[in-house]
Structure 1
Amino acid sequence: MAKDDMDKQPDSVSSVLKVFGILQALGEEREHGITELSQRVMMSKSTVYRFLQTMKSLGYVSQEGESEKYALTMKLFELGAKALQNVDLIRSADIQMRELSRQTRETIHLGALEEDSIVYIHKIDSLYNLRMYSRIGRRNPLYSTAIGKVLLAWRDRHEAEEILSHVVFTPSTARTLTSKEALLSALDKVHSQGFGEDNEEQEEGLRCIAVPVFDRFGVVIAGLSLSFPTIRFSEEGKSGYVKMLHEAARRISEQMGYHSYPF
Protein backbone atom coordinates (compact mmCIF):
# COMPACT_ATOMS: atom_id res chain seq x y z
CA MET A 1 0.00 0.00 0.00
CA ALA A 2 1.32 3.43 -0.97
CA LYS A 3 2.09 5.98 1.73
CA ASP A 4 -0.72 8.32 0.56
CA ASP A 5 -3.26 5.49 0.81
CA MET A 6 -1.99 4.56 4.27
CA ASP A 7 -2.30 8.13 5.50
CA LYS A 8 -5.97 8.21 4.44
CA GLN A 9 -6.83 5.24 6.70
CA PRO A 10 -8.37 5.76 10.17
CA ASP A 11 -5.67 6.08 12.83
CA SER A 12 -6.23 2.60 14.29
CA VAL A 13 -6.13 0.92 10.87
CA SER A 14 -3.12 2.97 9.83
CA SER A 15 -1.24 1.93 12.98
CA VAL A 16 -1.91 -1.75 12.32
CA LEU A 17 -0.73 -1.40 8.73
CA LYS A 18 2.46 0.32 9.89
CA VAL A 19 3.18 -2.38 12.47
CA PHE A 20 2.80 -5.16 9.93
CA GLY A 21 4.81 -3.22 7.38
CA ILE A 22 7.71 -3.06 9.84
CA LEU A 23 7.32 -6.74 10.79
CA GLN A 24 7.31 -7.79 7.15
CA ALA A 25 10.42 -5.76 6.41
CA LEU A 26 12.21 -7.28 9.41
CA GLY A 27 11.15 -10.73 8.26
CA GLU A 28 12.73 -10.30 4.85
CA GLU A 29 16.22 -9.64 6.20
CA ARG A 30 18.05 -10.62 9.37
CA GLU A 31 18.31 -7.11 10.82
CA HIS A 32 17.64 -3.49 9.96
CA GLY A 33 18.65 -0.09 11.27
CA ILE A 34 16.06 2.64 11.79
CA THR A 35 17.17 4.71 8.78
CA GLU A 36 17.04 1.70 6.47
CA LEU A 37 13.67 0.62 7.87
CA SER A 38 12.12 4.09 7.55
CA GLN A 39 13.12 4.16 3.88
CA ARG A 40 11.86 0.63 3.33
CA VAL A 41 8.41 1.21 4.81
CA MET A 42 8.16 4.89 3.83
CA MET A 43 7.69 6.26 7.35
CA SER A 44 9.54 8.87 9.35
CA LYS A 45 12.37 7.64 11.55
CA SER A 46 10.58 8.90 14.68
CA THR A 47 7.47 6.85 13.79
CA VAL A 48 9.51 3.73 13.06
CA TYR A 49 11.44 4.17 16.32
CA ARG A 50 8.23 4.54 18.33
CA PHE A 51 6.73 1.36 16.88
CA LEU A 52 9.98 -0.57 17.31
CA GLN A 53 10.22 0.33 20.97
CA THR A 54 6.66 -0.88 21.56
CA MET A 55 7.30 -4.13 19.70
CA LYS A 56 10.54 -4.55 21.62
CA SER A 57 8.73 -4.11 24.96
CA LEU A 58 6.20 -6.78 23.88
CA GLY A 59 9.01 -9.17 22.97
CA TYR A 60 8.46 -9.34 19.21
CA VAL A 61 11.58 -7.39 18.28
CA SER A 62 15.09 -7.40 19.72
CA GLN A 63 17.89 -4.85 19.43
CA GLU A 64 21.21 -6.29 18.37
CA GLY A 65 23.73 -5.16 20.95
CA GLU A 66 25.10 -1.67 20.42
CA SER A 67 24.58 -1.74 16.66
CA GLU A 68 21.15 -0.08 16.89
CA LYS A 69 19.89 -2.66 14.45
CA TYR A 70 16.61 -4.48 15.07
CA ALA A 71 15.57 -8.06 14.37
CA LEU A 72 12.53 -10.28 14.90
CA THR A 73 12.49 -12.58 17.91
CA MET A 74 10.99 -16.08 17.94
CA LYS A 75 7.75 -14.84 19.49
CA LEU A 76 5.95 -14.56 16.15
CA PHE A 77 7.09 -18.09 15.32
CA GLU A 78 5.67 -19.25 18.66
CA LEU A 79 2.32 -17.66 17.85
CA GLY A 80 2.27 -19.31 14.46
CA ALA A 81 3.19 -22.66 16.01
CA LYS A 82 0.30 -22.36 18.46
CA ALA A 83 -2.10 -21.64 15.62
CA LEU A 84 -0.85 -24.67 13.69
CA GLN A 85 -1.09 -26.79 16.82
CA ASN A 86 -4.73 -25.81 17.29
CA VAL A 87 -5.48 -26.61 13.65
CA ASP A 88 -3.93 -30.07 14.01
CA LEU A 89 -5.64 -30.56 17.38
CA ILE A 90 -9.09 -29.66 16.05
CA ARG A 91 -8.63 -31.88 13.00
CA SER A 92 -7.64 -34.83 15.21
CA ALA A 93 -10.32 -34.14 17.80
CA ASP A 94 -13.19 -33.75 15.35
CA ILE A 95 -13.39 -37.46 14.51
CA GLN A 96 -13.42 -38.48 18.17
CA MET A 97 -15.89 -35.75 19.13
CA ARG A 98 -18.31 -36.86 16.42
CA GLU A 99 -18.09 -40.43 17.67
CA LEU A 100 -18.80 -39.25 21.22
CA SER A 101 -21.76 -37.31 19.87
CA ARG A 102 -23.05 -40.43 18.14
CA GLN A 103 -22.70 -42.48 21.33
CA THR A 104 -24.18 -39.96 23.76
CA ARG A 105 -26.20 -37.49 21.62
CA GLU A 106 -24.96 -34.77 24.01
CA THR A 107 -22.93 -31.57 23.48
CA ILE A 108 -19.18 -32.13 23.09
CA HIS A 109 -16.66 -29.31 23.62
CA LEU A 110 -12.92 -28.92 23.11
CA GLY A 111 -11.47 -26.04 25.13
CA ALA A 112 -8.00 -24.54 25.54
CA LEU A 113 -6.37 -22.14 27.97
CA GLU A 114 -6.35 -18.50 26.90
CA GLU A 115 -4.65 -16.28 29.51
CA ASP A 116 -6.87 -16.71 32.60
CA SER A 117 -9.93 -18.22 30.88
CA ILE A 118 -10.91 -21.14 28.71
CA VAL A 119 -11.90 -20.64 25.09
CA TYR A 120 -13.94 -23.16 23.15
CA ILE A 121 -12.05 -24.13 20.00
CA HIS A 122 -14.42 -26.82 18.72
CA LYS A 123 -17.96 -27.98 19.46
CA ILE A 124 -20.42 -30.65 18.38
CA ASP A 125 -24.01 -29.74 19.20
CA SER A 126 -26.35 -32.04 21.07
CA LEU A 127 -28.65 -34.16 18.92
CA TYR A 128 -31.48 -33.52 21.37
CA ASN A 129 -33.89 -30.61 20.94
CA LEU A 130 -32.88 -29.17 24.32
CA ARG A 131 -29.38 -27.75 23.80
CA MET A 132 -26.95 -25.58 25.74
CA TYR A 133 -25.93 -22.12 24.66
CA SER A 134 -22.27 -22.01 23.70
CA ARG A 135 -20.20 -21.24 20.64
CA ILE A 136 -16.69 -21.66 19.29
CA GLY A 137 -14.56 -18.75 20.43
CA ARG A 138 -16.58 -18.08 23.55
CA ARG A 139 -14.63 -17.60 26.77
CA ASN A 140 -15.64 -18.96 30.16
CA PRO A 141 -13.98 -18.87 33.60
CA LEU A 142 -11.52 -21.53 34.67
CA TYR A 143 -13.00 -21.88 38.14
CA SER A 144 -16.60 -22.75 37.15
CA THR A 145 -16.02 -25.10 34.21
CA ALA A 146 -14.97 -28.72 34.02
CA ILE A 147 -12.53 -27.93 31.21
CA GLY A 148 -11.01 -25.08 33.23
CA LYS A 149 -10.35 -27.36 36.19
CA VAL A 150 -8.73 -29.95 33.92
CA LEU A 151 -6.48 -27.36 32.28
CA LEU A 152 -5.24 -26.27 35.72
CA ALA A 153 -5.06 -29.65 37.49
CA TRP A 154 -2.19 -30.99 35.36
CA ARG A 155 -0.11 -27.83 35.64
CA ASP A 156 2.55 -27.11 38.22
CA ARG A 157 0.88 -25.64 41.30
CA HIS A 158 2.93 -22.45 41.14
CA GLU A 159 1.93 -21.98 37.50
CA ALA A 160 -1.74 -22.53 38.38
CA GLU A 161 -1.48 -19.98 41.18
CA GLU A 162 0.12 -17.47 38.82
CA ILE A 163 -2.64 -17.96 36.24
CA LEU A 164 -5.25 -17.39 38.95
CA SER A 165 -3.48 -14.45 40.61
CA HIS A 166 -5.55 -11.82 38.81
CA VAL A 167 -8.80 -13.79 38.47
CA VAL A 168 -11.89 -12.27 40.07
CA PHE A 169 -14.12 -15.09 41.29
CA THR A 170 -17.64 -14.07 40.28
CA PRO A 171 -20.35 -16.58 41.19
CA SER A 172 -22.64 -17.59 38.33
CA THR A 173 -24.75 -19.88 40.52
CA ALA A 174 -24.98 -20.82 44.20
CA ARG A 175 -22.56 -23.72 43.50
CA THR A 176 -19.73 -21.66 41.94
CA LEU A 177 -16.37 -21.82 43.72
CA THR A 178 -15.64 -18.31 45.01
CA SER A 179 -11.96 -18.35 45.98
CA LYS A 180 -8.57 -19.39 44.67
CA GLU A 181 -8.05 -21.57 47.74
CA ALA A 182 -11.26 -23.51 47.15
CA LEU A 183 -10.38 -24.08 43.50
CA LEU A 184 -6.79 -25.17 44.21
CA SER A 185 -8.08 -27.63 46.76
CA ALA A 186 -10.54 -29.05 44.22
CA LEU A 187 -7.74 -29.51 41.65
CA ASP A 188 -6.12 -32.26 43.72
CA LYS A 189 -9.28 -34.36 43.41
CA VAL A 190 -9.55 -33.60 39.70
CA HIS A 191 -6.00 -34.82 39.12
CA SER A 192 -6.37 -37.98 41.20
CA GLN A 193 -9.70 -39.07 39.72
CA GLY A 194 -8.68 -38.16 36.16
CA PHE A 195 -11.54 -35.85 35.27
CA GLY A 196 -13.08 -32.51 36.19
CA GLU A 197 -16.72 -31.70 36.84
CA ASP A 198 -18.99 -28.70 36.60
CA ASN A 199 -21.94 -29.46 38.85
CA GLU A 200 -24.23 -26.56 37.93
CA GLU A 201 -21.38 -24.17 38.74
CA GLN A 202 -21.46 -22.23 35.47
CA GLU A 203 -25.14 -22.55 34.66
CA GLU A 204 -28.06 -23.89 36.70
CA GLY A 205 -29.46 -27.11 35.34
CA LEU A 206 -26.28 -28.01 33.44
CA ARG A 207 -23.67 -30.69 34.26
CA CYS A 208 -20.33 -31.17 32.55
CA ILE A 209 -17.50 -33.72 32.71
CA ALA A 210 -14.06 -33.07 31.15
CA VAL A 211 -10.79 -34.96 30.71
CA PRO A 212 -7.29 -33.83 29.65
CA VAL A 213 -5.75 -33.96 26.18
CA PHE A 214 -1.93 -34.01 26.03
CA ASP A 215 0.62 -32.87 23.46
CA ARG A 216 3.73 -34.86 22.53
CA PHE A 217 5.59 -33.48 25.57
CA GLY A 218 2.91 -34.64 28.00
CA VAL A 219 1.58 -31.12 28.55
CA VAL A 220 -2.18 -30.66 28.79
CA ILE A 221 -3.16 -28.54 25.80
CA ALA A 222 -6.94 -28.95 25.93
CA GLY A 223 -9.89 -30.31 27.79
CA LEU A 224 -12.48 -32.57 26.15
CA SER A 225 -15.92 -32.34 27.70
CA LEU A 226 -19.40 -33.79 27.64
CA SER A 227 -22.23 -31.47 28.71
CA PHE A 228 -25.86 -32.27 29.41
CA PRO A 229 -28.89 -30.94 31.30
CA THR A 230 -29.30 -32.32 34.81
CA ILE A 231 -32.55 -33.97 33.74
CA ARG A 232 -30.49 -36.31 31.53
CA PHE A 233 -27.71 -36.96 34.05
CA SER A 234 -27.40 -39.92 36.39
CA GLU A 235 -24.61 -40.76 38.82
CA GLU A 236 -24.87 -44.38 37.72
CA GLY A 237 -23.98 -43.43 34.17
CA LYS A 238 -21.13 -41.07 35.06
CA SER A 239 -18.38 -43.71 35.05
CA GLY A 240 -19.43 -44.75 31.56
CA TYR A 241 -19.24 -41.15 30.34
CA VAL A 242 -15.77 -40.74 31.88
CA LYS A 243 -14.58 -43.95 30.22
CA MET A 244 -15.79 -42.79 26.80
CA LEU A 245 -14.15 -39.38 27.26
CA HIS A 246 -10.85 -40.98 28.30
CA GLU A 247 -10.86 -43.28 25.28
CA ALA A 248 -11.48 -40.34 22.96
CA ALA A 249 -8.88 -38.13 24.66
CA ARG A 250 -6.32 -40.96 24.53
CA ARG A 251 -6.75 -41.25 20.77
CA ILE A 252 -6.49 -37.49 20.28
CA SER A 253 -3.37 -37.36 22.48
CA GLU A 254 -1.81 -40.16 20.44
CA GLN A 255 -2.49 -38.19 17.27
CA MET A 256 -0.67 -35.28 18.91
CA GLY A 257 2.33 -37.55 19.59
CA TYR A 258 1.67 -38.59 23.22
CA HIS A 259 1.48 -42.35 23.84
CA SER A 260 1.43 -42.56 27.64
CA TYR A 261 -2.12 -41.46 28.41
CA PRO A 262 -2.51 -42.06 32.15
CA PHE A 263 -6.13 -43.29 32.25
Structure 2
Amino acid sequence: MAASQKPDNVAAVMKVFAILEGLAAQPSIGLSELSQRSLTSKSTAYRFLQTMKELGYVSQEEESEKYALTFKLFELGGAALEHVELIPLANVEMRKLSEQTHEAIHLGALDEDSQHIVYLHKYDSQFNLCMNSRVGRRSPVYSTSMGKTLLAWMDDNRAQEILAKTHFIARTRYTLTSAQQVLDELPGIRQEGVAEDREEAELGVRCLSVPVFDRFGQAIAALSLSFPVVRYEEQKRDEYMALLFDAGKRISSGLGFYDYPFSRS
Protein backbone atom coordinates (compact mmCIF):
# COMPACT_ATOMS: atom_id res chain seq x y z
CA MET A 1 0.00 0.00 0.00
CA ALA A 2 1.43 3.40 -0.93
CA ALA A 3 2.07 5.94 1.81
CA SER A 4 -0.73 8.14 0.45
CA GLN A 5 -3.16 5.25 0.76
CA LYS A 6 -2.39 4.45 4.39
CA PRO A 7 -4.95 5.40 7.03
CA ASP A 8 -4.29 8.84 8.52
CA ASN A 9 -3.35 7.47 11.96
CA VAL A 10 -0.82 5.01 10.47
CA ALA A 11 0.68 7.73 8.27
CA ALA A 12 0.96 10.01 11.30
CA VAL A 13 2.80 7.36 13.31
CA MET A 14 5.20 6.77 10.43
CA LYS A 15 5.93 10.52 10.26
CA VAL A 16 6.59 10.67 14.00
CA PHE A 17 9.14 7.87 13.75
CA ALA A 18 10.71 9.46 10.69
CA ILE A 19 11.16 12.64 12.73
CA LEU A 20 12.63 10.70 15.66
CA GLU A 21 15.10 8.98 13.33
CA GLY A 22 16.05 12.37 11.89
CA LEU A 23 16.64 13.73 15.37
CA ALA A 24 18.75 10.69 16.25
CA ALA A 25 21.02 11.22 13.23
CA GLN A 26 22.82 14.23 14.78
CA PRO A 27 23.05 16.05 18.13
CA SER A 28 20.74 18.93 17.11
CA ILE A 29 18.92 19.88 13.94
CA GLY A 30 16.82 22.73 12.58
CA LEU A 31 13.22 22.46 11.47
CA SER A 32 13.90 22.84 7.72
CA GLU A 33 16.59 20.17 7.61
CA LEU A 34 14.55 17.85 9.82
CA SER A 35 11.47 18.17 7.62
CA GLN A 36 13.61 17.32 4.57
CA ARG A 37 15.20 14.32 6.28
CA SER A 38 11.86 12.97 7.42
CA LEU A 39 10.08 13.76 4.12
CA THR A 40 7.51 15.71 6.12
CA SER A 41 6.18 19.22 5.55
CA LYS A 42 7.56 21.90 7.87
CA SER A 43 4.12 22.60 9.32
CA THR A 44 3.51 18.93 10.11
CA ALA A 45 7.00 18.43 11.52
CA TYR A 46 6.60 21.53 13.69
CA ARG A 47 3.24 20.30 15.04
CA PHE A 48 4.65 16.89 15.96
CA LEU A 49 7.77 18.42 17.49
CA GLN A 50 5.71 20.66 19.77
CA THR A 51 3.80 17.62 21.02
CA MET A 52 7.07 15.72 21.58
CA LYS A 53 8.40 18.70 23.53
CA GLU A 54 5.32 18.70 25.75
CA LEU A 55 5.78 14.98 26.39
CA GLY A 56 9.45 15.46 27.23
CA TYR A 57 10.97 13.52 24.34
CA VAL A 58 12.41 16.56 22.52
CA SER A 59 14.15 19.74 23.67
CA GLN A 60 14.73 22.99 21.77
CA GLU A 61 17.69 25.35 22.05
CA GLU A 62 16.60 28.92 22.77
CA GLU A 63 19.09 30.75 20.53
CA SER A 64 19.37 28.46 17.50
CA GLU A 65 15.85 27.00 17.88
CA LYS A 66 17.33 23.63 16.88
CA TYR A 67 15.76 20.45 18.20
CA ALA A 68 17.37 17.50 19.99
CA LEU A 69 16.28 14.27 21.60
CA THR A 70 16.14 14.11 25.39
CA PHE A 71 17.09 11.09 27.50
CA LYS A 72 13.46 10.03 27.85
CA LEU A 73 13.69 7.66 24.89
CA PHE A 74 16.86 6.25 26.41
CA GLU A 75 14.96 5.63 29.63
CA LEU A 76 12.25 3.74 27.75
CA GLY A 77 14.81 1.67 25.90
CA GLY A 78 16.69 0.99 29.12
CA ALA A 79 13.52 -0.22 30.82
CA ALA A 80 12.79 -2.54 27.91
CA LEU A 81 16.34 -3.90 27.92
CA GLU A 82 16.11 -4.48 31.64
CA HIS A 83 13.08 -6.67 31.16
CA VAL A 84 14.74 -8.51 28.28
CA GLU A 85 17.63 -9.28 30.63
CA LEU A 86 15.31 -10.03 33.51
CA ILE A 87 13.16 -12.69 31.84
CA PRO A 88 15.95 -15.12 30.83
CA LEU A 89 17.46 -14.83 34.32
CA ALA A 90 14.09 -15.36 35.97
CA ASN A 91 13.24 -18.26 33.68
CA VAL A 92 16.00 -20.41 35.15
CA GLU A 93 14.78 -19.88 38.71
CA MET A 94 11.12 -20.14 37.80
CA ARG A 95 11.74 -23.49 36.16
CA LYS A 96 13.41 -24.72 39.36
CA LEU A 97 10.48 -23.48 41.45
CA SER A 98 8.09 -25.21 39.11
CA GLU A 99 9.99 -28.49 39.46
CA GLN A 100 10.14 -28.12 43.26
CA THR A 101 6.50 -27.16 43.87
CA HIS A 102 4.61 -28.16 40.69
CA GLU A 103 2.53 -25.01 41.26
CA ALA A 104 2.03 -21.89 39.11
CA ILE A 105 4.95 -19.45 39.08
CA HIS A 106 4.64 -15.85 37.84
CA LEU A 107 6.95 -12.93 37.19
CA GLY A 108 5.30 -9.51 37.15
CA ALA A 109 6.15 -5.81 36.98
CA LEU A 110 4.24 -2.56 37.26
CA ASP A 111 2.45 -1.48 34.12
CA GLU A 112 2.90 2.07 32.82
CA ASP A 113 0.05 3.37 34.98
CA SER A 114 1.60 1.79 38.12
CA GLN A 115 -1.91 0.75 39.18
CA HIS A 116 -1.65 -2.67 37.57
CA ILE A 117 0.72 -5.60 37.47
CA VAL A 118 1.51 -7.06 34.07
CA TYR A 119 2.54 -10.71 33.87
CA LEU A 120 5.93 -10.94 32.12
CA HIS A 121 6.56 -14.68 32.33
CA LYS A 122 4.97 -17.75 33.88
CA TYR A 123 5.14 -21.47 34.48
CA ASP A 124 1.77 -23.19 34.67
CA SER A 125 0.83 -25.52 37.47
CA GLN A 126 1.42 -29.18 36.74
CA PHE A 127 -1.92 -30.03 38.33
CA ASN A 128 -5.30 -29.97 36.60
CA LEU A 129 -6.76 -27.65 39.23
CA CYS A 130 -4.93 -24.32 38.85
CA MET A 131 -5.39 -20.56 38.43
CA ASN A 132 -6.02 -19.05 35.01
CA SER A 133 -3.40 -16.59 33.78
CA ARG A 134 -1.51 -15.51 30.69
CA VAL A 135 1.58 -13.49 29.86
CA GLY A 136 0.55 -9.89 29.21
CA ARG A 137 -2.45 -10.03 31.51
CA ARG A 138 -2.91 -7.03 33.80
CA SER A 139 -4.24 -7.22 37.35
CA PRO A 140 -4.79 -4.50 39.98
CA VAL A 141 -1.91 -3.89 42.39
CA TYR A 142 -4.16 -3.90 45.45
CA SER A 143 -5.54 -7.42 44.95
CA THR A 144 -2.36 -9.28 43.96
CA SER A 145 0.60 -10.42 46.01
CA MET A 146 3.00 -9.12 43.33
CA GLY A 147 1.30 -5.73 43.36
CA LYS A 148 1.55 -5.50 47.13
CA THR A 149 5.21 -6.50 46.94
CA LEU A 150 6.09 -3.67 44.58
CA LEU A 151 4.02 -1.16 46.56
CA ALA A 152 5.85 -2.21 49.73
CA TRP A 153 9.28 -1.71 48.17
CA MET A 154 8.70 1.72 46.67
CA ASP A 155 8.82 5.10 48.36
CA ASP A 156 5.90 5.50 50.79
CA ASN A 157 4.76 8.72 49.15
CA ARG A 158 4.73 7.07 45.74
CA ALA A 159 2.67 4.14 47.04
CA GLN A 160 0.18 6.54 48.62
CA GLU A 161 -0.05 8.51 45.38
CA ILE A 162 -0.77 5.38 43.34
CA LEU A 163 -3.40 4.08 45.75
CA ALA A 164 -5.05 7.50 46.00
CA LYS A 165 -5.75 7.32 42.26
CA THR A 166 -6.88 3.70 42.34
CA HIS A 167 -10.50 2.71 41.79
CA PHE A 168 -11.04 -0.22 44.13
CA ILE A 169 -13.31 -3.06 43.07
CA ALA A 170 -14.19 -5.99 45.34
CA ARG A 171 -13.22 -8.90 43.13
CA THR A 172 -14.02 -11.31 45.98
CA ARG A 173 -15.30 -10.95 49.51
CA TYR A 174 -11.66 -10.90 50.68
CA THR A 175 -10.47 -8.05 48.46
CA LEU A 176 -8.99 -5.00 50.16
CA THR A 177 -11.20 -2.10 49.12
CA SER A 178 -9.43 1.01 50.39
CA ALA A 179 -6.02 2.61 50.11
CA GLN A 180 -5.61 2.53 53.89
CA GLN A 181 -6.20 -1.23 54.08
CA VAL A 182 -3.42 -1.80 51.56
CA LEU A 183 -1.08 0.72 53.19
CA ASP A 184 -1.59 -0.97 56.56
CA GLU A 185 -0.17 -4.23 55.12
CA LEU A 186 2.98 -2.73 53.57
CA PRO A 187 5.16 -2.41 56.73
CA GLY A 188 4.62 -6.09 57.55
CA ILE A 189 5.46 -7.07 53.98
CA ARG A 190 8.72 -5.12 54.11
CA GLN A 191 9.61 -6.70 57.44
CA GLU A 192 8.88 -10.30 56.48
CA GLY A 193 9.78 -9.99 52.80
CA VAL A 194 6.67 -11.78 51.56
CA ALA A 195 3.34 -10.41 50.35
CA GLU A 196 0.20 -12.52 50.27
CA ASP A 197 -2.97 -12.63 48.21
CA ARG A 198 -5.50 -14.44 50.39
CA GLU A 199 -8.19 -15.13 47.78
CA GLU A 200 -8.32 -11.37 47.11
CA ALA A 201 -8.03 -11.58 43.33
CA GLU A 202 -9.74 -14.90 42.73
CA LEU A 203 -11.75 -17.12 45.07
CA GLY A 204 -9.98 -20.36 45.82
CA VAL A 205 -6.46 -19.05 44.98
CA ARG A 206 -3.70 -17.96 47.36
CA CYS A 207 -0.38 -16.42 46.31
CA LEU A 208 2.94 -15.61 47.94
CA SER A 209 5.32 -13.08 46.38
CA VAL A 210 8.84 -11.69 46.89
CA PRO A 211 10.71 -8.78 45.28
CA VAL A 212 13.36 -8.85 42.55
CA PHE A 213 15.92 -6.03 42.75
CA ASP A 214 17.99 -4.41 40.02
CA ARG A 215 21.64 -3.40 40.46
CA PHE A 216 20.56 -0.14 42.11
CA GLY A 217 18.52 -1.93 44.76
CA GLN A 218 15.18 -0.96 43.23
CA ALA A 219 12.39 -3.56 43.25
CA ILE A 220 11.65 -3.79 39.53
CA ALA A 221 9.65 -7.02 39.53
CA ALA A 222 8.01 -9.58 41.77
CA LEU A 223 8.06 -13.35 41.76
CA SER A 224 5.02 -15.29 42.95
CA LEU A 225 3.93 -18.80 43.80
CA SER A 226 0.20 -19.53 43.45
CA PHE A 227 -1.89 -22.34 44.94
CA PRO A 228 -5.51 -23.43 44.95
CA VAL A 229 -6.54 -23.17 48.59
CA VAL A 230 -7.21 -26.91 48.67
CA ARG A 231 -3.48 -27.54 48.09
CA TYR A 232 -2.08 -24.69 50.17
CA GLU A 233 -0.51 -26.02 53.38
CA GLU A 234 -0.03 -23.35 56.04
CA GLN A 235 2.54 -25.47 57.86
CA LYS A 236 4.71 -25.33 54.73
CA ARG A 237 4.60 -21.55 54.46
CA ASP A 238 8.17 -21.14 55.71
CA GLU A 239 9.33 -23.68 53.14
CA TYR A 240 7.53 -21.83 50.35
CA MET A 241 9.05 -18.55 51.53
CA ALA A 242 12.55 -20.03 51.58
CA LEU A 243 12.22 -21.27 48.00
CA LEU A 244 10.97 -17.86 46.86
CA PHE A 245 13.74 -16.02 48.73
CA ASP A 246 16.40 -18.22 47.14
CA ALA A 247 14.95 -17.62 43.68
CA GLY A 248 14.53 -13.88 44.24
CA LYS A 249 18.09 -13.62 45.54
CA ARG A 250 19.60 -15.43 42.55
CA ILE A 251 17.63 -13.40 40.00
CA SER A 252 18.60 -10.17 41.77
CA SER A 253 22.25 -11.27 41.85
CA GLY A 254 22.07 -11.87 38.12
CA LEU A 255 20.92 -8.26 37.74
CA GLY A 256 23.85 -7.01 39.83
CA PHE A 257 22.27 -6.74 43.29
CA TYR A 258 24.12 -8.84 45.89
CA ASP A 259 22.59 -7.68 49.16
CA TYR A 260 19.22 -9.44 49.05
CA PRO A 261 17.62 -8.70 52.42
CA PHE A 262 15.98 -12.09 53.01
CA SER A 263 17.16 -15.68 53.12
CA ARG A 264 16.19 -19.15 54.30
CA SER A 265 17.11 -18.24 57.87
- TM-score interval (norm. to shorter): over 0.9
Counterpart-to-counterpart distance in 1, 2:12 and 2:171:
38
Q: Counterpart of 2:211 in 1: which secondary structure?
A: strand
Counterpart-to-counterpart distance in 2, 1:39 and 1:140:
45
Counterpart-to-counterpart distance in 2, 1:85 and 1:38:
33
State the match for 1:206 in structure 2: 205
2:222 is the counterpart of 1:223 = yes
Between 235-244 and 161-170, the greater mean CA deviation after superposition: 161-170
Which runs of structure 2 are paired with 1:170-209 in the superposition (5 Å)?
170-209=169-208
Q: Among the aligned pairs, what percent are the same residue?
A: 55
Shift of 1:234: 1.4
State the match for 2:139 in structure 1: 140
Between 77-86 and 61-70, the greater mean CA deviation after superposition: 61-70
Which runs of structure 2 are paired with 1:117-156 in the superposition (5 Å)?
117-156=116-155
Report the AA paired with residue 218 of structure 2: V
> Which of 93, 97, 100 is 2:90 aligned to?
93
State the match for 1:29 in structure 2: 26
Shift of 1:8: 1.6
Shift of 1:219: 0.7
Q: Counterpart of 1:228 in 2: which secondary structure?
A: strand
Shift of 1:113: 1.0
Counterpart-to-counterpart distance in 1, 2:31 and 2:2:
22
Displacement over 4 Å in runs of 4+? none
> Which of 76, 99, 104 is 2:101 aligned to?
104
Counterpart-to-counterpart distance in 2, 1:260 and 1:42:
51
Counterpart-to-counterpart distance in 1, 2:40 and 2:140:
42
Report the AA paired with residue 231 of structure 2: R
| Cα deviation 1:3-62 (Å, max 9, x = unaligned) | x93222101111110000000010011111111111222221111111001111111111
Report the AA paired with residue 205 of structure 1: G
What RMSD over aligned residues (CA atoms) do the two structures have, in Å?
1.1
2:3 is the counterpart of 1:6 = yes
- The answer to whether the 8 A contact 1:199-1:208 is kept is yes
Q: Counterpart of 1:121 in 2: which secondary structure?
A: strand
TM-score normalised by the chain length of structure 1: 0.97
Shift of 1:169: 0.7
State the match for 2:48 in structure 1: 51
Report the AA paired with residue 175 of structure 1: Y
Q: Counterpart of 2:209 in 1: which secondary structure?
A: strand
Shift of 1:222: 0.6
Q: Counterpart of 2:237 in 1: which secondary structure?
A: helix
- The answer to whether the 8 A contact 1:6-1:17 is kept is no
Provide structure 2 residue ranges, at least 5 long, that are not aligned to the other structure: none
Q: Counterpart of 1:32 in 2: which secondary structure?
A: coil
- The answer to whether the 8 A contact 1:211-1:246 is kept is yes
- The answer to whether the 8 A contact 1:198-1:208 is kept is yes
Counterpart-to-counterpart distance in 2, 1:26 and 1:251:
40
Q: Aligned pairs, how many?
A: 260
2:221 is the counterpart of 1:255 = no
> Which of 75, 78, 81 is 1:81 aligned to?
78
State the match for 1:239 in structure 2: 238
